[in-house]
Amino acid sequence: MKKHNFQPESLMMSYGYRPEWSEGSIKCPIFQTSTFVFNSAEQGKAYFEVAYGLREKEESEPQGLIYSRINNPDMEILEDRLSLWDQAEACAVFESGMSAISTAFLEFLKPGDLLMYSKPLYGGTLHFIEHILPKWGIDILGFRAGMSQIEMIELIKQSGKQDRLAMIYVESPANPTNDLFDLTVCSNVAKQFSKSDKQVMLTVDNTYMGPLWQHPLEFGADLVIYSATKYIGGHSDVIAGAVLGSHERIQRLKVLRTFLGSMISPWTSWLLLRSLETLKIRMEKQADNAQKVAVFLEGHPLVKKVHYLGLLKPTDQAYPIYKKQFNSPGAMISFEVQGGEKEAFQFLNHLDLIKLAVSLGSTESLVQHPATMTHAGMEAQEKELYGITPSLVRVSIGVENAMDLIKDIEQALEAIPNEIRVSSNNSPLSKVA
Ligand SMILES: *Cc1c(COP(=O)(O)O)cnc(C)c1O
């Protein structure tokens, strides 16, 4: 079966697996095994040569199964299926999003290199970049949304380290504010500083948009990273990660993964295979619900500002990027309530259906307070700069009934103390005129 004859959602139940491999079982079994038996010593030798990168694989040669830290059928089938959504040449899966991210940094950066990264970033990634990479002699340079190509180039030149730029790392939209970065601009900047012997890589963490709503490889990215814990897993029951890109780069990551031991387990792979079957219908329902919730929030007098791609207007600076890069506004909303932390907490503590927990992309809706939770580690000054205010809450919308979600939000907003409501109703900020 050719891979592009059918759409990915049609292939998620069968691609990369044949029932005759497993007694006719329609589903791929869980290959709960640590090691695999070779047919001959010659075969074992050949498998190791390829797995350890000692020689290139022949065109027709299979990569034989060796040991579950190196490869396993559940892991490989998962990698094949994940590649379809982004039309990537190859994929490597990991035991967490953070191990996917850290393995990519360790493989593609070396002491003396400069890493440029978008801000704000996912907290774990930010910690790895700002506190761990510098210990290995890697210089770092942050940049924020809205910078033009010329401004980015100028920033790199001003750092005095332009010859050492090795990677540009971007999250777009940014978490939790939904700020957008133009990937074409980032790719152009990467090309500008590339030399014949050293290509500057563009790496995009696409977790926020899942594999459906933005395809960074189409806009010049070299690597796409997912926390598969989020939309791909989608049921708040696994931690996992993935990186996609060219055969050559993904092979390098797989070799490092083998030696770090950060591969995914057969059981987690199997759960993700199951999740992938419903990826598209889950994500579409989530986005549909999110649009309805966002419109409700925008019209509510106790809500100061809503950050949601589906509410961008043609006059907004981010609008052209949204139109070019995204297939959907997604299911992540952040918004500020009238007041500060106290009012935000009142709201959070009164939600009933929507659960107060970090993470995102699951079937159930989740809500959290970035300033004191996911982004608690950021300096106060930085939080202010990036709009992570005390009254900001972030919601990941699930597959529940949209009216039930709205009802839950409405009753929790009503729990915000009276003083604020009276003053906001009289304030010019009020949206009910
Ligand atoms: C959750 C998340 C990660 C980290 O993934 P884990 O699976 O928790 O290790 C990285 N990037 C983004 C954008 C995330 O939301």
Structure confidence by residue, pLDDT tens digits, 119-167:
999 989 999 999 999 999 999 999 999 899 999 999 999 999 999 999 9
Residue 165 near residue 156, CB atoms below 8 Å: yes
Are 121 and 171 within 8 A, CB to CB?
yes
Catalytic residue among 69, 274, 342, 407: 69
Atom of ligand 1 nearest to the CA of 171: 13
**What average pLDDT does the structure give for the chain?**
94
Alpha-carbon span 7 to 149, nearest angstrom: 35
For residue range 348-407, what is the model confidence (pLDDT) as tens digits?
A: 999 999 999 999 999 999 999 999 999 998 889 999 999 999 999 999 999 999 999 999
pLDDT the model gives residue 432: 42
122 tagged catalytic = yes
Which residues, in sequence order, are CB contacts of 210 under 8 Å at separation 6+?
226, 230, 231, 232, 279, 283, 330, 361
Which domains, ranges and CATH numbers included, belong to the chain? 8-33+68-276 (3.40.640.10), 280-431 (3.90.1150.10)
What confidence score (pLDDT) does residue 54 get?
Answer: 87
Longest C-alpha distance within the chain, in Å? 82
Of the given ranges (62-66, 81-85, 381-385, 405-409), which has the lowest mean pLDDT? 62-66
Tell me how far the alpha carbon of residue 121 lies from the centroid of ligand 1, in angstroms: 10
Report the SS3 class of residue 245. strand
Instruction: Order the strands of the 332-337 sheet from edge to edge.
Output: 303-307, 332-337, 392-396, 366-368, 355-356
- Which DSSP symbol is given to 99? H
Cα 192 vs. chain centroid, distance in angstroms? Answer: 26
What 3-state class would DSSP assign to 229?
A: coil
Q: Quote the pLDDT of residue 424.
A: 55
- Checking if the pLDDT of 33 tops 90, the result is yes
87 — alpha (psi -120 to 50), left (phi > 0) or beta? Answer: left
Q: Is the CB of 203 under 6 A from ligand 1?
A: no
230 carries an active-site annotation: yes
Is 96 a pocket residue for ligand 1 (Cβ < 6 Å)? yes
Peptide bond into 314 cis (omega under 30): no
pLDDT at 367: 98
Structure tokens at 254: 């797989």
The separation between CA 298 and the C-alpha centre of its own chain, rounded to angstroms, equals 26
Q: Are strands 90-94 and 241-245 parallel, antiparallel or unpaired?
A: antiparallel
Percent above pLDDT 70 for the chain: 95
pLDDT for position 292: 98
